[in-house]
Structures are given as C-alpha cells and as structure tokens.
Amino acid sequence: MSQYDYDLLVIGAGSGGVRASRMAAQMGQRVAVAEDRYLGGTCVNVGCVPKKLLVYGAHFSETLHMAPGYGWHPGAVRFNWRELRDNKDREIERLNGIYAKLLDNAGVTLLNGRASLVDAHTVSIAGKRYTAERILLAVGGWPWVPEFPGREHVITSNEAFYLDELPKRIVVVGGGYIALEFAGIFNGLGVETHLVYRGPMFLRGFDQDVREAVLEEMREKGIHLHFNTDIAQVIKHDKGLRASTQDGREFEVGQVMYATGRRPKLDGLGLENTRVQVNDRGAVVVDERFQTAEPSIYALGDMVGHAELTPVALAQAMSLVRNLYGEGEAPPLDYQRIPTAVFTQPPIATIGLTEAEAREQCEAVEVYKTRFRPMQYSLTDIPERTLMKLVVDKATDKVVGCHMVGPEAGEIIQGLAVAMTAGATKADFDRTLGIHPTAAEEFVTLREPVPE
C-alpha cells in the first residue's frame, strides 16, 4: 500500500493538467486534479475558444457587407452584444461539462479549491491536506497590467469576454497577438477602436512581411493605430474614461483594455515551501522532462515559459506521462517548428523561421512570396489582400519558413506544417498539384524567388 493518498496530484485543470491527469489515470495511476476556478483553463474559458467565437461574430459585419455583390440584400440588420456573449457563455459551460465527464470517466478525482504546496509531497486544498508521490504544477498564466495612475479602471482579456455593454469607443493597449485579436473583434462589432503600443511596430518576432501586411489591413479596416507611445494615466468620470498618452494625446472612451502580456499564476502556490526555482521572467524552471529542482514536483504549460499555446501544453503533458508511467522514453519536444495562428482580421498563420532568422542561420536563402486579392472579394469593394511566403534554405532546398496572412490562414498552414515537419523541400512543393481555384494552391505554384 502506498504511503501517499495519490500517485499523481495535478494542480490546475487546464488543457495540460487535464490531459496529464487522464493519461496517468488510464495507465493505472491514482490521480487527483485540483482546480479553483473552471475546468478547461484559459483556452476554454477566457482564451482561444471564446475568442474565436467572438472573431466569428465580428466577421459577420464584413460578410453582410459582401452580400450585395453576390445578389443578397439583407434587410434591417442589428447587432446584440448580450446575445453573442450569452450564447458564448452557454457553449463554454457545455465544454466545462465535457471536461468534468472526461476526468470522471478516466477515474480522476476532482478536488475543488485553490491548492497550495505545503512541502514536496503535500498539498493543502480548502483546509484539507493531501499527499502525493508526485505533484504536477499546471496553473497556467494570468494577464499582467503595469503600474500607472488609473490602473484600477482598465480591463484585461479576462473581463472583455463578459462585458455587460459594448463600449462605443475603446483603447486596446499592447502589441502582441492578444491585443491585435481584440482590436479586430471590437472593430468588427462596430466599436471605434484605438490600438496603443509603446514600440514602433507590433507583433515582434513575426516575419516582417507579415507584420507589414497586417498593419496595412488593420488600417484599411478602420482601426486607429498609435505607435511609440504608452498610456500615462486613465481617469474615470461620469461619461466614461479619459486615457492620456505619454505624448499628450487623449481618448474619451468607454473602456481601456490592457493586453500587455501574461505571467505564470504563482501567487499563493506555496513554491517557497519547496526547492522549485523561478527564473527572472517569473517562469518555473524545468528540465527536458519537466522536472523542477524539487525531484517530486513537475511543471508544464504556460507557467514554464515555452510557447504559450494549448497544443504545446498537450504535447508536454503526453511526453511527461509517457516518461513517468509509460514504456520507454518519449523524445524531447521540438519547439522549433510550432505552427501558430493569430486570429486577427485577416488571420495570420506561420510555421518555422522568419526571413530574418533564416538569413542568420542559413548560408543562403531564397524567398518566394505573393500578394493577391482573394477570389471571395472579387465581386465586392473589399480591398483586402492575402500574403503568402515561403523561406527556403538554398543549400538543402528545405522549406524552413511558411507564412500567411489571409482568409483561412490557420486551416491552410496546418496542412503545410505536416509537410515541413516531414522535411519537405521546395521541389516537393513544386511537384505537388494545386487544388483550383483555391488560395492554398498559391503555395505550390510559387516558381520565382524574390530578387535579392
């Protein structure tokens, strides 16, 4: 009989925590998972799932605008924010229920409450202590807002999903993908939207052509972009909020939303009672097997500082459980070729190296790219243009970067990610027949590299 209550106790029922719990239980381990908020974590509740539902909702304004070009003439159109919000909430509640059934069917014990580490093998939850041979930390991240006068008046993405009323005007602060996605959502829902970013250009780390294409399309869609400045203060008054920037501009708005980054949710976790280490970015330090400096404690997902994406957390969970309870050793995860989508309007999708990264890492590079107006807009006055780009290592002919801005970018790049993971060369792309007429066929008909 084990001296512990559980073989594995997981703190956090997000994507990674649930996957690890279920897999370990199915391998015969006694597993419990502790959660103090909602099942499914950030992605299901205040992240990718509800966000994409709102993106769908925001895109209807453009779809309705396109309709007359195809002979459809809608009557009086009205938008009801509360209907969209409440329908989204019902879908999230349905998914919460699915996660609960998955855990129950796998034989995982759900412990409701905020968990805190007492020592290397003990966790306190709602005043009761539980012991485990191993503990897995999977608490995810939380929006971070810097200190400034009026900070208490702003919202983050967490609150944006649950607004009682949609503001007429909003300032979104930040230059990462969450800021851009919400700027597109609010703009598409008819809100006068201002994006404020302290740097000279948003989407740092993305390919430069991608950044410039998104910049052009956001401006074309009416989003007001303000670079090289930051919010100095926010003042609340009877009619809303006054946001002042460091360079003297003022915005009278209904809401100010901060999307300035996320940090691991470590408050109250009790790390100080263990040997678990945290780096200068606030992430828990782990090795390739997700083990912390405390041998019995592991961590994965957003809190360990790798790519903060749901599929990454799922892959980490599967690798961890296979190493702990499976036969043989799972190979280390490859973080170099992670396909990524940003649900701006139009969306972005990318995998592999940017052109700049490729030029640093490869002796010689060939770049193939095209920009064109998607066929679906040909009968409308919408000027949006798609960008497609391939980056090729000239020495090996391997495609090392694939980037797209345009409708269904995520769906298209997912397929190309399989090819790149398999080591596809430009010659492989060239001998692949396209599906006509589609946008995706452009990726296999790019013949001439961009002149140096």
Q: Which residues contact residue 431 at a Cβ distance below 8 angstroms, ignoring those fewer than 6 apart?
A: none
Cβ distance 264 to 302 under 8 Å? yes
Helix, strand, coil percentages for the chain (3-state, nearest 5): 35, 25, 40
* Catalytic annotation, residues: 436
> Quick one: how far is CA 342 from the chain centroid?
7
Distance CA 374, CA 365 (A): 28
Spatial contact of 204 and 188, defined as CB atoms under 8 Å apart: no
Whose structure tokens read 């599929």?
311
**Cβ atoms < 10 Å from Cβ of 360:** 10
Helix residue ranges per DSSP H, 231-381? 310-325, 355-361
Beta bridge partners of 9: 32, 135
Strands, DSSP E only, in 306-451?
340-342, 348-352, 365-372, 386-393, 399-405
Instruction: For residue 417, give Cα distances in angstroms to 338, 387, 398, 402, 413.
Output: 8, 17, 13, 8, 6
Strands 297-299 and 340-342: unpaired
CA-based nearest residue to 15, from 45, 54, 36, 51? 45
> Which of 249-255's residues contact partners 24+ apart within 8 Å by CB, and which partners?
251/169, 251/171, 251/194, 252/169, 253/167, 253/169, 253/170, 253/171, 253/194, 254/165, 254/167, 254/168, 254/169, 254/170, 255/154, 255/155, 255/163, 255/167, 255/170, 255/171
- Cα pseudo-dihedral 95, 96, 97, 103, rounded to 10: 110
Q: Are the C-beta atoms of 336 and 357 separated by less than 8 Å?
A: no
